[in-house]
């Protein structure tokens, strides 16, 4: 058993860790993994915050697919699927991640996020994070960041932030539905080309595409006085990471 009193903390800070059978972490204090590596063979460790280092999931983790996981600053490695709910509040998606039909990925919090590998969605992604989401793709195994929203997939924007292409090979391929549902300002796809064969809808605020791409499929706006779809080429954007 590991126990942290109020105002105290336990950090798993360096070295290689493996979650054992039924670990018990308790107390009002903070217990967190901050580095170097952590293997979760079968399930999450209750009350352990994943705030740093690299986390890998065993083939039998939660039955072979993510049903309940919160990434709060760690790097998630390997190839993984989400069939339940995954919350991404900080850190890096370092390996390919697929949200299957019925799965849910919530992109939350206020920390800058980094996507190093393909993110494929056949379920639902809710992006409400209050910071930039960086895609990194230079056509190497280490950086292959791209987003594929498949037919039937929902990509919901509830934030006025940037989806920012870092190296010039990033892309957003939409065959499903992309919809801006929240935020009265602008959601910007900067240096991320959009290829659209699905539906893109602005129900609130402005959805601005600043990376070129292919204009096809269905583009729609709702509440015309308050919603704007904008396609532009611009070199303005947030500071690079």
pLDDT digits (tens, 9 = 90+) for 57-114: 999 999 999 999 999 999 999 999 999 999 999 999 999 999 999 999 999 999 999 9
Structure tokens at 129: 């994070």
Q: Facing residues of 174 across strands? A: 149, 196
22, part of any domain: no
3, part of any domain: no
215, part of any domain: yes
124, part of any domain: yes
14, part of any domain: no
Structure tokens at 45: 């460790």
165, part of any domain: yes
28, part of any domain: no
- pTM for the full model? 0.93
DSSP 159: S
Per-residue confidence band for 234, with pLDDT thresholds at 50, 70 and 90: very low
Per-residue pLDDT of 9-18, as tens digits, reads 999 999 999 9
CA distance 130 to 191: 19
Tell me how many domains the chain contains.
1
Mean pLDDT of the chain: 92
Domain with 95, as residue range(s), is 33-231
């Amino acid at each position: 058993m590991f126990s942290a009193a109020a105002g105290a903390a336990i950090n798993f800070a360096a070295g290689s860790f493996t979650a054992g059978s039924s670990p018990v972490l308790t107390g009002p204090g903070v217990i967190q993994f901050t580095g170097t590596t952590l293997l979760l063979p079968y399930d999450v460790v209750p009350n352990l915050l994943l705030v740093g280092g690299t986390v890998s999931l065993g083939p039998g983790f939660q039955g072979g697919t993510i049903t309940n996981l919160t990434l709060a600053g760690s790097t998630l490695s390997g190839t993984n699927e989400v069939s339940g709910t995954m919350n991404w509040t900080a850190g890096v998606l370092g390996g390919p991640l697929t949200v299957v039909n019925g799965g849910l990925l919530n992109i939350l919090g206020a920390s800058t996020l980094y996507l190093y590998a393909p993110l494929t969605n056949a379920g639902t992604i809710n992006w409400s994070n209050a910071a930039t989401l960086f895609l990194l793709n230079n056509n190497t195994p280490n950086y292959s960041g791209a987003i594929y929203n498949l037919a039937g997939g929902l990509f919901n924007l509830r934030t006025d932030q940037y989806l920012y292409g870092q190296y010039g090979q990033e892309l957003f391929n939409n065959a499903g539905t992309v919809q801006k549902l929240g935020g009265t300002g602008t959601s910007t796809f900067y240096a991320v080309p959009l290829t659209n064969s699905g539906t893109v809808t602005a129900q609130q605020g402005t959805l601005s595409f600043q990376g070129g791409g292919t204009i096809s499929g269905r583009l729609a706006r709702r509440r015309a006085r308050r919603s704007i779809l904008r396609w532009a080429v611009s070199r303005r954007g947030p500071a690079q990471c």
